[in-house]
Each structure stands twice: as structure tokens, then as C-alpha cells.
Amino acid sequence: MLINPAFEKAIALQKWHDRKKAQHKDITVLPSLLIKNAKQVKIVDIIDASFDDKEVKYCRFNAKIKDILNKDDPWYSSCKRFYKKVDFINNIAKCPRCRIEKVDYEERYLLKLEVFDKKEHCYVTLFEATRYLLGCDAKTYTESISPKKEESTFYRKLVLSKEKEYTFLVKIDARNEGDRAGRRLIAEEIQEVEEAIAINIEDEDIELESPIRKTKHIEDDTDDKITYKRVKIEKN
Ligand SMILES: [Zn+2]
């Protein structure tokens, strides 16, 4: 009997996609091709690397989250125009750059982590990339933690990320050399390592719509696991 494995996989993916949509999972937080295609390195390679050329390079490294430095407030009130942190004076938002009274602002992510691989540690700042970790945007996050943050699934996700291993995507150029020397990196994207191993459809030769050919989450429901297992077996 002939079975078309690409067709089987496409159906499995479509089902997964529909299910995530039904669960209101935000598919815009799925990992990009950039993280997949970036060169895999160690933290030490990034710290020691010197880039003479003006070329921008993307690297990824795996590391465990050792500490979440601002787990209670992983965001800031940001001027909508320049993304500057606004100051509140008598409950009026002021931006140091715009210098406008009652400036229009919004919550934006700013998460600070200390991470380590087997040899080195470093500090990683996530701005909008925090949504890859928490699965929602900053507005949704700040709303979810009110009135009790312990009841927020997103807050729990943040707390539980400690000691877990993630892949971090960083952009390296000559300008951030000083930050690299000080072990401070900005991650453009983050992906849990186990998730990445679970499925990697991009290696396949099938062409699918971009959102569903990306990798993501097996986490909670066993239904998903079964689907993924099957896809994996077919792959081999
Ligand atoms: Zn401003």
C-alpha cells in the first residue's frame, strides 16, 4: 500500500494549526526561520568574537535561565513614538525625548535574564521577544496579572521558565562589542529547546503556508504529542 507521507504530515499540521487557533493560541509567536538558520554557537564564542567587518551576523546559543531579574515587572511604560520609558509626574506621563505633556504611552516588554550554558553565564535582555517566551503581548500580560499575578497563566509560564533550557537568537555587529564584553546580550527571539527538538517541519521538502510550517509547543495536551510522534516517525 502506498501512503503519501507529505500528505499525512500536511493533514497533521493543519489539524494542529486549527486546534491552536481554536485554543486561541497566538501563532504570531511561533519561531521564525531566522532562529533556525542562525549559526549555533556557545556563549563564550559571542563574548570573545570580534567582528572587524560591518556585517551583521545572527547567532543562536542554548542556555538555561538561571535567574529572572525582574519577574514581577517585565515591562515598562513606553512612549509610543520613540519607545522611551515615560516618567510619571503627578500621574501625568512625560517622555524624556518627546517632551510632551500627557504623552501617549503603552506597555512594552523588557525582561532581564541571567542565563548559563555549561561553561559561561551572561545577561540577556528581551524586549518584544518576551512574547515568544510568554505567548502573549505585553498588554495581555499586564492585564492578566491583575489583580493577582499568581492566577495568570502567563506569569506562571514566566516563573516556570527558570532552570529550563532555551535557544536564544542574538544579532551581532561591531556596535554591540562593548555589551558583549560585559556579557550583556539582547535576544531577538527565544525558543524552548525541547519544543525545537519535538518537530522541525522546515527540514521537510513539503511546502506549506508559513504559519503552520513553523515549530511549536507540545506542552499540555497529549493529543498533540501523539500527532507529533507520528510526524517524527514518518520523518525517519
Ligand atoms: Zn516620546
**Alpha carbon of 4 to ligand 1 centroid (Å):** 56
C-alpha to C-alpha distance for 89 and 133, rounded to whole angstroms = 32
Residues 6+ positions from 157 with CB-CB distance below 8 Å: 133, 134, 135
Phi and psi angles of residue 24, each rounded to the nearest 5 degrees, phi first: 60, 30
- 3-class DSSP state for residue 79? strand
Question: What is the model's pTM?
Answer: 0.72
Determine the distance separating the centroid of ligand 1 and the alpha carbon of 186, expressed in angstroms.
22
- Per-residue pLDDT 10s for the chain (236 aa) are 555 656 777 777 777 777 766 665 566 677 888 999 999 999 999 988 776 666 778 999 999 999 999 999 999 999 999 899 999 989 999 999 998 888 999 999 999 999 999 999 999 999 999 999 999 999 999 999 999 999 999 999 999 999 999 999 999 888 888 899 999 999 999 999 987 666 555 445 444 444 444 444 444 444 444 444 444 444 43
Q: Hey, how many other C-beta atoms are within 10 angstroms of the C-beta on 235? A: 13
CA 139 to ligand 1 centroid distance, Å: 19
What is the 138 CA–ligand 1 centroid distance (Å)?
A: 18
CA 125 to ligand 1 center in whole angstroms: 21
